[in-house]
Amino acid sequence: MTEERQEARVCAARLIFAAQALRCLAYGLAAVMAVGAAALVLTLDPQVVILGGGYSRSADLLIDPLERELRRLCLRVPEIRASNLGADSVALGALRVALDQVDARLFTDGMPAPLTLHA
CA distance 24 to 37: 20
CA distance 32 to 70: 11
Instruction: Supply the range of the domain harboring residue 61.
Output: 3-87
Is the per-residue pLDDT at 88 higher than 60? yes
CA distance 36 to 76: 15
Q: Has residue 38 been placed in a domain?
A: yes
CA distance 79 to 85: 18
Is the per-residue pLDDT at 64 higher than 80? yes
CATH number, domain containing residue 50: 3.30.420.40
Is the per-residue pLDDT at 93 higher than 90? no
Cross-strand partners of 50: 81
Give pTM, 2 decimals.
0.68
111 falls in which pLDDT band (50, 70, 90)? low
Q: Has residue 108 been placed in a domain?
A: no
CA distance 109 to 105: 8
Q: What is the pLDDT of residues 36-59, one digit of tens each?
A: 999 999 999 999 999 988 888 889
Q: Has residue 119 been placed in a domain?
A: no
